[in-house]
Structure 1
Amino acid sequence: MAELKSVVDKENPDVIAVLETWLTSEVLDSEIQLTGFITSRADRLNRRRGGFIVYTKSTLTIRLAETVAHVSETCELVRCKLKCRRQDIEVVVVYRSPESVADDFLLSKLKSWCKNGKNLVVGDFNAPYINCVNLEVGSSISSFNSKLLETSIGLALLQHIRDPTRYDLRNSSSILDLVFRHGDDVGQTAFVPPLGRRDHAVILFKFMVEIACQTIAPARPNIWKADMQAINSAASAENWEIDSKASVQEAWTLFRQLYNRVTQPYIP
């Protein structure tokens, strides 16, 4: 978490997707919480590895958050509908295991969720044989790679990652982590080193859309529930005399400090 927090502090993202968290129900939300973010998570119950967390900045207005997983626990998805100024955007995060037996389930969800042209789809698809530049696949026509490419073309989704995202010293590096969008409003893509012992790069990118943020009003004291008896008692114990040689600003500062000291503890 320390490395993730460091990246968050430096880059100040609005949405974060962390894949292959390996979390179980024994890990509390409070242990993985990031200050200023809302957490959506999908843990695997009966299998090791997998799972993910999606953090969305608390100032964003989320109309919907839904997490689904295949019964085989080899594929998980989450979608968050974010309120934007011109149109709502559905952010879909995917994790597909290399041993997935849920390919039809995954493709069906993408077809259902991404047919309105207002989606951003990101995740680890474990589909290394797709050439999204030339729209070619280096595997059989019945493979998941071919079906994913066909599905993305049918949904008019453009894949924006062009460089390898997973580094393997034993084999050639590959593009496993993908970013799909219906237009060219994904830009300034950059990679930073993997977190911890992972072998996947951290992908940073700008998604150019006008987000409708919540206006958070500052907290105000509820004076109607003040404990007046306690305030009067505290005020009686203070020395309210002001040095006659003090300036107006000094006198005001001292008075305000005294006032806050005797009132704030007793006003919710």
Structure 2
Amino acid sequence: MYTNIASLLAKLDSMALYIEDNKPDCILLTETWLSSDISDSLIGLNEYTLYRTDRTSRGGGACILLKQALFNQFSVICNSKRYGNTELVSVVCSHNSQNFSLVCVYRPPGSPLVDDELLYDEIKRLCHLRSNLIIFGDFNFPNISWQNVQSQTNDDSTAQFIDMLHETNLTQLVAAPTRFRVGQEPSLLDLVLTTDLNLLGEIRHCAPIGISDHCVIETTLQYHSSSLQKHHFRKHSKIHFEGLNSDLTNTDWTSLYSTSCCTEAWNIFRNVLCDLVSRHTTTYKVKCNRTKPLITQTFIKRAKIKKQTME
């Protein structure tokens, strides 16, 4: 998933809820508003490894978060660049003969042409060096008509950006507006660029995280993993509620709440509840055949429905 988060720290709770519901393997964020004073551990998304590039002043920033499970299959190399107030962070995930590269870019409005030229040169270099390249980012080009990939203004940066797309053979996949602000016309600022259309599934626009005015862009990355993997799932329909309710009743909450801080009290309650739910929940193992990553259960169901309607 990708979005312009407009302050990651301010939306950590909303981000954690999104991750809990959707469990994305890769997260790309722009306008993180992080600084060197903020450590990775303070962000606290423990299931993910964070790669970031920050701005020395307030605002901006880009980051990529990769789920720890990916590191069982891929080795990861990270690189980051900064051109004025434009930030770029990239990762290369490789295993044997297969690899894919993810790039996250934040280009602020009114970026100087000299910074833009350096950014475009770096994108050209990445296109030349890397296969299976996918670039997500907020490029702040609202005046490009993507139906015919033409600029509606005489801006030099916009014109050079379009020339760079043609030169590198990058394809832009987002078709609908991605930023919505009251009193302003919706605009398409967040882009997904790729060198291979077969790398990604459908581009989906989803609700923003927190009070951000940029929607979330979700898609599926198509790559081959090992043919057989074991995954552990918690099946919530198998929760033993009688035992859970008994343990909750017998918990000495008074002794646990020895703090006057509501945040600490909430963390105590959440940790106790999660621990008890884990104890009283049945877990099971499934084996997933990933030799055909395109054939999902949803695809199979829709294929059956189509077959029935044609008979």
The amino acid that maps onto 1:208 is: Q
Question: Are the equivalent residues in 2 in contact too, given 1:158–1:180 (CA < 8 A)?
Answer: yes
Distance 2:46 2:65 in 1: 10
Q: CA deviation at 1:204?
A: 0.7
Distance 1:194 1:124 in 2: 14
Q: CA deviation at 1:119?
A: 0.5
Tell me what 1:152 maps to: 165
Q: Deviations over 1:124-182 (max 9, x none)?
A: 11111222231221121x52222112111211111110000001222211111000112
Tell me what 1:14 maps to: 25
Tell me what 2:68 maps to: 58
Greater share of helix? 2
Relative to structure 1, is the Cα distance of residues 135 and 30 closer, same or farther in structure 2, using a 3 angstrom cutoff?
same
Distance 2:77 2:27 in 1: 17
> Is it true that 1:200 corresponds to 2:214 in the alignment?
yes
Distance 1:146 1:168 in 2: 26
Structural RMSD (CA): 2.1
Relative to structure 1, is the Cα distance of residues 130 and 87 closer, same or farther in structure 2, using a 3 angstrom cutoff?
farther
Distance 2:98 2:49 in 1: 21
> Is it true that 1:26 corresponds to 2:40 in the alignment?
no
TM-score scaled by length of structure 2: 0.63
Relative to structure 1, is the Cα distance of residues 169 and 6 closer, same or farther in structure 2, using a 3 angstrom cutoff?
same
Unaligned runs of 5+ in 1: 217-268
Tell me what 2:80 maps to: 67
Tell me what 1:223 maps to: none
Tell me what 1:234 maps to: none
Q: Which of 92, 95, 103 is 2:106 aligned to?
A: 95
Tell me what 1:3 maps to: 14
Distance 2:189 2:96 in 1: 32
2:201 is paired with a residue of what secondary structure? strand
Distance 2:226 2:77 in 1: 15
1:128 is paired with a residue of what secondary structure? coil
The amino acid that maps onto 2:219 is: F
Q: CA deviation at 1:110?
A: 0.2
Q: How many residues align?
A: 211
Q: Which of 135, 153, 164 is 2:177 aligned to?
A: 164
Distance 1:177 1:94 in 2: 10
Tell me what 1:256 maps to: none
TM-score scaled by length of structure 1: 0.73
Q: Which range moved further: 182-191 or 98-107?
A: 182-191
How much identity, in percent, do the aligned residues show? 27
Question: Are the equivalent residues in 1 in contact too, given 2:63–2:104 (CA < 8 A)?
Answer: no
Q: Choose 1 or 2 for highest CA Rg.
A: 1
Distance 1:21 1:8 in 2: 17
Relative to structure 1, is the Cα distance of residues 24 and 122 closer, same or farther in structure 2, using a 3 angstrom cutoff?
same
1:149 is paired with a residue of what secondary structure? helix
Question: Are the equivalent residues in 2 in contact too, given 1:80–1:90 (CA < 8 A)?
Answer: yes
Distance 1:155 1:212 in 2: 31
2:59 is paired with a residue of what secondary structure? coil
Q: Which of 136, 143, 158 is 1:122 aligned to?
A: 136
Question: Are the equivalent residues in 2 in contact too, given 1:126–1:176 (CA < 8 A)?
Answer: yes
Question: Are the equivalent residues in 2 in contact too, given 1:107–1:151 (CA < 8 A)?
Answer: yes
> Is it true that 1:44 corresponds to 2:55 in the alignment?
yes
Unaligned runs of 5+ in 2: 1-11, 231-311
Q: Deviations over 1:90-132 (max 9, x none)?
A: 1111010113121011101100111244200111111112222
Question: Are the equivalent residues in 2 in contact too, given 1:83–1:212 (CA < 8 A)?
Answer: no
Matches within 5 A, 1:123-138: 123-138=137-152
> Is it true that 1:191 corresponds to 2:205 in the alignment?
yes
